[in-house]
């Protein structure tokens, strides 16, 4: 069985997908974003209202319902759990890998397909989205699928493929709104103007409008009939137009913010893609690869995604994720068509230089990783502290040998295999090992055992909305010191999660009695935290109450997930 056989490709695709499917239920819900997509479907399940999203038992108008429905279906099949929350995300991520593979196969060759699938599977941002942000990995799945079917429709003049592209775009709109249309539409129009190839006519647009209306409009019509503009207006005006035009949703970030995000989130492939683009630029007059469908449309797709969100006033690191599969396809095409053939050694100096640079990083990583792991996770077995360093040292030796021998296919295999191993051990060992530093689930177990249904529970100036998922009742979200004082001074039992600095304010109040029920370090990978043995001021979460801890009630009647 050679590596060109379909069976070999299937085995490799299964292997590179493994990190996305392992230990889905071993980690508690991530704050803050994952909590919204865990709790909102749970409230749909409890209330029976599948139309109007609610979080913390209040209307949640920020996003359309498709992500909630996907998790809701998972709940119905497997019960309410962390595993059920993440299963749709894992399947979507594997779908992104498969569509990247299929797109490169369509445009280039089976070998390019395998390269694109491997690059996508070993992209850090794709892995992170699959583990903690259901809505964005689902959007990435629909956009990558839409790009595949759009290219297929253009190559084959196939209306069925165009119909599938419209279905994926419509589902993307029902996932996150207009951005699902803006990126593909702008990318196609700009590429068509650039290449002077307009292949989508009026009949295609009419078909697309019919498909879009059939998929998207029913929910908007039903939600309008039930709630008026309560859900629709805030979504379009505040969550879409507002996020693009105003900086009120996050820290101010400059127009070059995504340069560093791309370099880090797509590392080390970001360096190889840069080399690939330089290579294509040098061939622009002889072969015009940038005007072709194979390279041109994915390149414009990447540029549109990057520029669109660079112009946005509100910037989050995961917004540019739709460009990574397209960039993987570009890299795969360049490697397959121009650089990997054995008679092209002289053209590999850019890539050889990057391989050498990456190999030079491995010894440093091998030295630093045990220090970081022993600082963050001292409870791990020694083999987990030092095992990755041994593997990285072996990777360094192999990569250096393949580069010196000019075995470029083998260099890529070692390059990708090292990244895959890192993702695999993270899923298998290190993500579950972070749980002692993510105490919200444990705190909720204590609250559940110490309180009845009349007690107030919530958080103060530290966003831990997963509380509502684990407590299964409304919580308060307090930000003002005076308002929090009033809660703690009330006759009603109050349980609150806050950080160490904020707790000091209440502890100093002579007329206020507060009791610390639990305190745990909170996970942080900031350099200051690592240098201070894993702790820094404010990185400790504390559970306090205006009632003392009761041994009599230390075990709750209802098990926490």
Q: Which of 282, 403, 407, 408 is nearest to 336 (CA)?
A: 408
Helix, strand or coil, per DSSP, at residue 426: helix
Tokens of 43: 């409230």
Tokens of 434: 């972070």
Distances (CA, A) of 29 to 69, 136, 526, 544: 18, 16, 21, 21
Q: How far apart are the first and last CA of the chain?
A: 45
Please return the burial class of 334, using the count of CB atoms within 10 Å of its CB with bins 0-12, 13-18 and 19+. buried
The predicted structure's pLDDT at residue 549: 76
The predicted structure's pLDDT at residue 537: 40
Tokens of 498: 């806050």
- Which residues 6+ apart lie within 8 Å of 197 measured at CB? 191, 293
Angstrom distance (rounded) from CA 465 to CA 448: 16
Type and span of the H or E element at 59: strand 58-59
Is the whole model's pTM more than 0.85, yes or no? yes
Find tokens 């319902």 and name the residue: 65
Tokens of 258: 């995504």
Angstrom distance (rounded) from CA 140 to CA 159: 23
Q: Are 90 and 71 in contact (CB under 8 A)?
A: no
Q: Which of 204, 92, 87 is nearest to 144 (CA)?
A: 92
Using alpha carbons only, how large is the chain's radius of gyration in Å?
26
Alpha-helical regions (H) of 177-241: 179-195, 202-227, 232-233
Residues in the chain: 561
The predicted structure's pLDDT at residue 323: 96
The predicted structure's pLDDT at residue 104: 97
The predicted structure's pLDDT at residue 1: 41
Which regions of the chain are under pLDDT 70? 1-3, 235-251, 287-289, 338-362, 399-400, 402-408, 524-538, 551-561
The predicted structure's pLDDT at residue 352: 65
The predicted structure's pLDDT at residue 268: 84
DSSP string, 105-154: HHHT-HHHHHHHHHHHHT-HHHHHHHHH-HHHHHHHHHHHHHHHHHHHHH
The predicted structure's pLDDT at residue 144: 98
Distances (CA, A) of 58 to 35, 135, 372, 382, 476: 14, 20, 41, 47, 12
Helix, strand or coil, per DSSP, at residue 169: helix
């Amino acid at each position: 069985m050679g590596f060109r056989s379909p069976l070999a490709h299937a085995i490799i695709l299964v292997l590179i997908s493994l990190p996305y499917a392992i230990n889905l239920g071993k980690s508690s819900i991530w704050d803050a974003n994952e909590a919204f997509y865990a709790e909102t479907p749970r409230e749909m399940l409890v209330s029976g209202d599948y139309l109007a999203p609610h979080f913390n038992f209040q209307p949640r108008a920020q996003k359309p319902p498709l992500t909630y429905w996907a998790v809701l279906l998972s709940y119905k099949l497997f019960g309410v759990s962390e595993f059920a929350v993440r299963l749709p995300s894992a399947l979507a991520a594997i779908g992104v890998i498969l569509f990247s593979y299929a797109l490169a196969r369509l445009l280039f060759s089976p070998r390019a397909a395998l390269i694109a699938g491997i690059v996508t599977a070993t992209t850090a941002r794709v892995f992170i989205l699959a583990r903690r942000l259901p809505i964005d990995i689902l959007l990435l799945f629909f956009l990558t699928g839409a790009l595949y079917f759009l290219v297929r429709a253009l190559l084959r003049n196939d209306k069925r493929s165009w119909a599938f592209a419209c279905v994926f775009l419509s589902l993307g709109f029902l996932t996150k709104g207009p951005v699902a249309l803006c990126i593909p539409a702008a990318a196609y129009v700009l590429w068509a103007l650039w290449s002077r190839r307009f292949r989508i006519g009026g009949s295609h647009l009419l078909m697309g409008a019919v498909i879009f209306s059939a998929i998207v409009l029913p929910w908007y019509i039903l939600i309008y009939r039930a709630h008026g503009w309560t859900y629709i207006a805030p979504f379009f005006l505040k969550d879409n137009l507002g996020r693009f035009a105003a900086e009120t949703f996050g820290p101010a970030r400059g127009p070059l913010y995504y340069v560093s995000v791309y370099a880090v989130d797509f590392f080390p492939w970001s360096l190889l893609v840069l080399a690939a683009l330089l290579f294509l630029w040098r061939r622009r007059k002889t072969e015009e690869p940038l005007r072709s469908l194979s390279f041109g449309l994915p390149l414009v797709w990447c540029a549109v995604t990057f520029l669109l969100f660079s112009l946005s006033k509100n910037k989050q690191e995961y917004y540019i994720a739709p460009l990574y599969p397209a960039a993987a396809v570009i890299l795969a095409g360049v490697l397959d068509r121009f650089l990997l053939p054995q008679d092209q050694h002289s053209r590999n100096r850019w890539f050889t230089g990057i391989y050498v640079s990456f190999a030079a990083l491995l010894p440093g990583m091998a030295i630093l990783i045990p220090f970081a792991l022993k600082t963050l996770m001292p409870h791990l077995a020694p083999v987990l502290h030092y095992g990755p360093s041994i593997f990285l040292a072996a990777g360094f030796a192999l990569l250096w040998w393949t580069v010196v021998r000019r075995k470029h296919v083998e260099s890529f295999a070692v390059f990708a295999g090292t990244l895959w191993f890192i993702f695999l051990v993270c899923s298998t060992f290190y993500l579950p090992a972070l749980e002692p530093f993510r105490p919200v689930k444990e705190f909720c177990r204590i609250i559940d055992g110490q309180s009845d249904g009349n007690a107030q529970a919530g958080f103060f100036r530290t966003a831990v909305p997963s509380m509502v998922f684990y407590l299964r009742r409304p919580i308060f979200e307090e930000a003002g010191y005076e308002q929090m004082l009033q809660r703690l001074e009330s006759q009603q039992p109050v349980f609150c999660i806050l950080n160490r600095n904020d707790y000091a304010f209440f502890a100093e109040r002579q007329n206020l009695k507060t009791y610390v029920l639990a305190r745990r370090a909170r996970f942080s990978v900031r350099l200051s935290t690592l240098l201070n043995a894993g702790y820094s001021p404010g990185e400790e979460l504390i559970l306090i109450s205006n009632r003392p801890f009761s041994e009599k009630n230390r075990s709750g009647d209802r098990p926490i997930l």
